[in-house]
Amino acid sequence: MNKILVTGAAGQLGTELTQKLCEIHGSEAIIASDINQNSSAKFSFCQFMVLDVMDKNSLRNAIINEKITQVYHLAAILSATAEQKPLLAWKLNIDSLLILLDLAKELKLDRVFWPSSIAVFGKESPKINTAQDAVQTANTVYGISKMAGERWCDYYYSHHNVDVRSLRFPGLIGYKAKPGGGTTDYAVDIFHKALAGQVFRSFLEKETRLPMMYMPDATKATIDLMQAPSDNITVRSSYNLTAMSFTPEEIFLELKKHFPEFKIKYQPDYRQEIASNWPQTIDDQYARNDWNWQQEYDLPEMTKDIIKNLPYWIDKI
């Protein structure tokens, strides 16, 4: 039986991915971990441990003592927050990955998952249908760390046969966790404001188009990738991935269909410059061809699902 450790499990992706993994493998096979002790309340459905991913000995002991075979390494500082704390972001995002990859080699872990991002692309990268092998010119701390991380993943696979797999996530939208400091998190916060009857203040301009994905599709893609046969995986840096692309104005207008009095004000800040350098649409044919990636949600379907479920979760997050 696989025994799976999820690091950074209390984050936006980790919260939902951990639940899905429990549904598939059973709660006894999953351990959620986070550096924050208070996060334990989120994981009544599985084992939880406090874990500092920067402490190699603690991580090694956890893997050995719990007989871990797979790790989903989600601990990270996201794009907007990373610009405020660049050295800390670099240290956490890269050093923790290297620690894990080295332990995966030493302890012969079955598989490792690590998320990359469209932030690896920059202003010199194509903006429309950005290809898998498009030039990467990241100019943010987060993007630079993801660029480096992708090369380390490929290196440990090529040189040490570590089966590490990765996805370049677009902006992720969910309702089971609070926004986590990403540039695309406006698309999470806007739902909270709409349900609360408040004016939404967008830190991006109205026509800023970005690739996005609803969290159920993100967890589905992660698990589909990790369950794919090794021979099917042709990309060992990180797979391009996408589901939909929209602007702040488009998601606002979609919400207006459900909340006719909802209002928005555009107040761009430093995050606008970050977003302006990212792709508008993504070409993810490698993922579709190699392991049959297919999304399930578009903007209207996602909007309806969040409006239905978010009121129940607001007091829980």
Q: Choose, from 72, 142, 175, 214, the residue flagged as catalytic.
A: 142
* 166 SS3 class: strand
Residue 317's pLDDT is: 56
State the distance between the two ends of the chain, measured CA to CA, in whole angstroms. 32
Share of the chain above pLDDT 70, in %: 98
Cβ–Cβ under 8 Å, residues 54 and 92: yes
Share of the chain above pLDDT 90, in %: 89
Angle among Cα 116, 213, 169 to the nearest 5 degrees reads: 5
Residue 110's pLDDT is: 98
What span, in angstroms and rounded, lies between the C-alpha atoms of 149 and 46?
29
Is 142 among the residues known to form the active site?
yes
The predicted-structure confidence for 65-117, as pLDDT tens digits, reads as follows: 999 999 999 999 988 888 999 999 999 999 999 999 999 999 999 999 999 99
Instruction: Please report the beta strands in the chain, taking only residues with DSSP state E, as ranges in sequence order.
Output: 4-7, 30-34, 47-50, 70-73, 111-117, 164-169, 171-173, 200-202, 210-214, 239-240, 244-246, 264-266
Read off the pLDDT of each residue in 252-259 and give the average, rounded to a whole number.
98
Query: What pLDDT band is residue 43 in, cutting at 50, 70 and 90?
Result: very high
Query: What pLDDT band is residue 316 in, cutting at 50, 70 and 90?
Result: low
* Domains observed in the chain: 4-170+213-240 (3.40.50.720), 173-211+244-281+297-316 (3.90.25)
What's this model's pTM, rounded to 2 decimal places?
0.94
